[in-house]
Chain A
């Protein structure tokens, strides 16, 4: 990478650290450290919520998905605006007004200590592992792209993040998120402009080519429980998922607990409601445009450089032959794509597009052979979707913009990781240390413990990220386990807003909800994970109401 690009990355990292430490004033109380003394304006909280949700995977994996699979992934977010509005008028006023530090703390006030501790423990378990995965994803990609050891790429992301999170708490994280969000948007818009300028065909023709390959289908109205992304899974399953994520996950809840008022907290969620779908659309369209761009500029046969090197080393001759076949087939596809673009909507356009699709299918067959070769040589999964955008950025973007995009990827990674670290630290200290170990400490003591907890979770995340390759299956198990209880935890919070239940109902409802989801997940593995959230939440509410019964009415 050119030194100017490196300079941009270094300047960005230095700025994030210095600015984060500068924002650490007023963090000498736990109220300031965990909740920014409830002083943040709605737009800061809103941007922070969005930055938290936008991880490095969104910057590199989602456009890659757009390039290979099109924009149908956007349906996952169709339920988000509705979920934000529901939370804005229900859960947010409860949590913000109750003066708690964590969402789980509220559950003890409403139910009992065991419900609080179980939900907080489930959060620590899933988020502790997932923060490692969030760090590992860009770490592995940057390591492969730049040819640096994984430990360095993880350190590049992890060290500055842990530093400013540990020193500045939520206030530093939220303000850093604002700047990081701006950087991310600028980087994405810059890449779109470059793509449109460098594209050898008109935007209308580019979209026709993308549409012919099925990449511009945003709505799928089929009601199929095994299909992950449909309009209905997005609207129903997605709503429950977003309700659970934004309403009960401490990494999100902590953001709006730091808002200056209930109204600011509600409004901050609505910012996600109106920006999320257009933003995801933009990210996916970047991928679609990269796909069209690669119809006219030869892409590498394999996008993952590590896999490419391994295959060349082991099966050089066979890979060479495949590359020659790929080059000649690419030329035919390029000619077909130009002919399809030139034909426009005139007579013969359909035939030209059909020829192009046949050539595109030929390319996919050759790509499939190369990916099979990767699996045979490395024994690893060959999917290289996450490498499409980094390879494009490094080889096709002008000097300066490459650095800007890499800084954007780091910003996306850091904003998500920082939020996870603060929430893990807060839950560890408030829901466990202060609740079960020492409840009579002063602010200085809890601050010391909180900073130590942040450092611990940061170090833990780095360790998980570094050993991600060997922990691959474990992370998958944990993520799958996470989907077992996400909806169930939402069910507990729904119960908390109902009068006719009690601690017994919520605790056993939670256990039953997780059990039913586990049965569905193992008994009917084809059912999309989005429906698990619906099943879990509904089970908890029913069991909670049945078990809670009359006792709940007296308790409430």
Chain B
């Protein structure tokens, strides 16, 4: 890793963290909906 690379690697900030939480929530909801659809309707 070069010095330039190391300096480029910034710590995640609030927008990133907020979006990360969104990712988790949306994935859990979406996959749950898909699973419920499959459980209820798939023959």
Question: Which residues in A have some Cβ–Cβ distance to B below 8 Å?
Answer: 42, 71, 74, 81, 84-85, 88-89, 93-94, 96-98, 109-110, 207-208, 210-214, 216-219, 262-264, 266-267, 270-271, 273-275, 277-278, 281, 353, 497, 499, 556
Contact = CB atoms under 8 A, between A and B. Distances in A.
B36 to A, nearest CB: 10
B41 A93 contact: no
Q: Which of A93, A266, A274, A277 has the most CB of B within 10 A?
A: A274
Nearest to B25: A274
Main secondary structure of the interface of B (DSSP, over half): helix
Nearest to A71: B34
Given A262-B10, A263-B10, A274-B23, A98 B37 contact: no
Given A93-B10, A277-B30, A499-B1, 6 more contacts: A84-B23, A94-B9, A210-B41, A263-B12, A278-B30, A353-B43
Contact of A218 (B2, B13, B25, B35): B35
B33 to A, nearest CB: 8
A214 B4 contact: no
A81 B16 contact: no
A277 B19 CA distance: 15
B16 A267 contact: yes
Interface in B1-28: 1-2, 4-5, 7-10, 12-13, 15-16, 19-20, 22-23, 25-27
Contacts of B23: 81, 84-85, 270, 273-274
Interface residues on B, range: 20 to 34
Contacts of A208: 41
Nearest to A95: B8
A264 B15 contact: yes
A211 B4 contact: no
A98 B26 contact: no
Contacts of A42: 15
Contacts of B31: 277
The 5 A-B pairs of least Cβ separation, nearest first, read A97-B8, A211-B41, A270-B19, A274-B26, A218-B34
Contacts of A84: 23
Contacts of B7: 97
Given A270-B20, A274-B23, A97 B38 contact: no
Interface of B: 1-2, 4-5, 7-10, 12-13, 15-16, 19-20, 22-23, 25-27, 30-31, 33-35, 37-38, 40-43
A491 B29 CA distance: 33
Nearest to B34: A218
Nearest to B27: A81
A91 to B, nearest CB: 10
A528 B20 CA distance: 31
Contacts of B15: 42, 263-264, 267
Contact of A110 (B2, B13, B27): B2
Nearest to B5: A94
Nearest to A206: B41
A263 B34 contact: no
27 contacts: A74-B34, A88-B12, A88-B16, A96-B8, A98-B8, A207-B41, A210-B41, A211-B40, A214-B43, A216-B42, A218-B37, A219-B34, A219-B38, A264-B15, A266-B16, A266-B19, A267-B19, A270-B23, A271-B19, A273-B27, A274-B25, A274-B26, A277-B26, A277-B30, A278-B26, A281-B34, A556-B1
B26 to A, nearest CB: 4
A556 B3 CA distance: 10
A262 B8 contact: yes
A88 B20 CA distance: 10
B8 A216 contact: no
